[in-house]
Structure 1
């Protein structure tokens, strides 16, 4: 697919600009350069410095005018990696181009559920697939974790968890809501316990009980100004998942018979590691989208329509805070 990147900030290009794309794919630029299924045809950014950086690494033209760039390159696949409040207008510009088959948008698609719904509807009317870049969802480790949590030969009778997050519930906490939805089913409700605004007045950071279809998880906010802290701990009737440092370290502990006290069950001291592959996160996003578009229906992807319920609930929580 002919790919075009809109927005060349940290996730677009910055995080691993100096790294070899064969080693690190933390950004859209490196991921496209590394993946054989995509041909980079152009980029757009308002910053001259970033445009020059993009061209120096990719040897591909970067444009100061978005519509000009799109019409001159005729991409099939466009990535939107700009601030959330710009997504809607950029999407409308992209949809003027009839060659586009799919769009990957940074999370969240919108802060507003009505606007997000409108974006989904516009893409459907134009026969364009709209995906969301919740990158942890696409990692192979997420599929392994789901099988650990819900093994086919066991009935899960109990599941409860804790998630630590920072830098806003919508901005960053939504990463973990999306991930938990992929494991535990749809988010059904949120019960706020204590409201905070450590990071921004525009994004609430509550300590709250999140009820998913298959279990409850307490979300607790920490202060991004102190340090970044993202982790999930899930306890089930079959064992315990430890998802540390945003998913860079993942362990599973199964339940075993207590070797000292007969009749008791404990967690195994053996912490089984699950490979995260987080250094190539954006590569796996592109890889799954490529296979999905190629009609592999067994591939799980995050399409924008599947996030509308989450956006609606989070917006309601923000209004009521």
Structure 2
């Protein structure tokens, strides 16, 4: 049995990123992921743009509506995807819950810009008995899951020291990597601003900040998105060095070996081990884990509560600037 899905918002993550890519080994959007996953059916979509609705209907042979209420009333989906602008997430989720009670809602990140709105969203879904997840895509990537296994088993051993590079704002892109480190290292315990930084797009802060997690410390530094994108994590542990580079498209591990030239010294392996990842089809992996959740299996998806903790940590950082 498949679950019917409705996407609200047909922008880049909703439909755009892979629209003009014929190769189905690239799965970057909700529309393509749903259409390719055997556990889901793409029932329809909602967007204010007639052009986007027309493009969706031609590509995916499913109806597109201009109103949330019309789409949900007619289609009654089991899964609703909120892929609208971040400032509209609260209002869209409110409209969804007034219309229907889907089994789950998948919301784009961040959950909201306003912390109180995010809290209300989590509470509304809990009271309605609707599972809420937030689309922090990296948490479902096989390479990330493998790193978590190694950390939890002690194969990558504590303590940990991390350098992380982000750009395009702490709320938008920085939150991806803060949330990822929460998955690996536990909740944020404390933060300390190193440099206040600027505002990306006049509203999203880009501070350099030290963050203490339950199992290690990280320094986040902001790069310059207008010059080039750079998203990277380097983690040192007693057992070696982890390199999470190119936003997760390259993951390497260097173990520790006895130095062949100097007795008593230990060095990192010259040849790094590549940890396979699935970033080429990252959105498909999200839906694979949503399918597992519906089957009551364990997942690494980001729940609404977990996304709220990420947002609370970011607000703490912003208020310290």
The gaps in structure 2 that reach 5 residues or longer are none
In the TM superposition, residue 307 of structure 1 has moved relative to its aligned partner by: 2.0
The DSSP-based 3-state class of the residue aligned with 1:103 is strand
Q: Which residue of 2 aligns with 1:97?
A: 99
Q: Which residue of 1 aligns with 2:38?
A: 36
TM-score (norm 2): 0.96
User: 2:13 matched to 1:11?
Assistant: yes
In the TM superposition, residue 316 of structure 1 has moved relative to its aligned partner by: 3.0
Contact 1:7 1:82 in 2 (8 A): yes
Q: Which residue of 2 aligns with 1:191?
A: 192
In the TM superposition, residue 187 of structure 1 has moved relative to its aligned partner by: 1.3
Q: Which residue of 2 aligns with 1:125?
A: 127
In the TM superposition, residue 158 of structure 1 has moved relative to its aligned partner by: 2.2
Contact 1:112 1:315 in 2 (8 A): no
Please give the alpha-carbon distance, in whole angstroms, between the structure 2 residues aligned to 1:65 and 1:290.
27
Q: Which residue of 1 aligns with 2:319?
A: 319
Q: Which residue of 2 aligns with 1:251?
A: 252
In the TM superposition, residue 60 of structure 1 has moved relative to its aligned partner by: 0.4
Contact 1:169 1:206 in 2 (8 A): yes
Contact 2:72 2:100 in 1 (8 A): no
Please give the alpha-carbon distance, in whole angstroms, between the structure 1 residues aligned to 2:75 and 2:104.
15
Aligned 1:1-321 pairs, distance under 5 A: 1-20=3-22, 22-152=24-154, 156-197=157-198, 199-296=200-297, 298-321=298-321
What's the Cα RMSD here?
A: 1.4
Contact 1:162 1:219 in 2 (8 A): yes
Contact 1:198 1:224 in 2 (8 A): no
Deviations 1:44-95 (A, max 9, x none): 1111111111011000010011111111111110001111100001001111
In the TM superposition, residue 275 of structure 1 has moved relative to its aligned partner by: 1.3
The DSSP-based 3-state class of the residue aligned with 2:200 is coil
The DSSP-based 3-state class of the residue aligned with 2:171 is helix
In the TM superposition, residue 150 of structure 1 has moved relative to its aligned partner by: 4.5
Contact 1:21 1:33 in 2 (8 A): no
The DSSP-based 3-state class of the residue aligned with 1:96 is helix
Deviations 1:253-297 (A, max 9, x none): 00111111111110001210111210111111011011112111x
Please give the alpha-carbon distance, in whole angstroms, between the structure 1 residues aligned to 2:294 and 2:23.
23
Contact 2:101 2:130 in 1 (8 A): no
Please give the alpha-carbon distance, in whole angstroms, between the structure 2 residues aligned to 1:286 and 1:17.
18
Please give the alpha-carbon distance, in whole angstroms, between the structure 1 residues aligned to 2:299 and 2:14.
24
Please give the alpha-carbon distance, in whole angstroms, between the structure 2 residues aligned to 1:18 and 1:270.
37
Aligned length: 319
Q: Which of 191-200 and 102-111 deviates more?
A: 191-200
Contact 1:162 1:234 in 2 (8 A): yes
Please give the alpha-carbon distance, in whole angstroms, between the structure 2 residues aligned to 1:319 and 1:290.
38
Q: Which of 92-101 and 210-219 deviates more?
A: 92-101
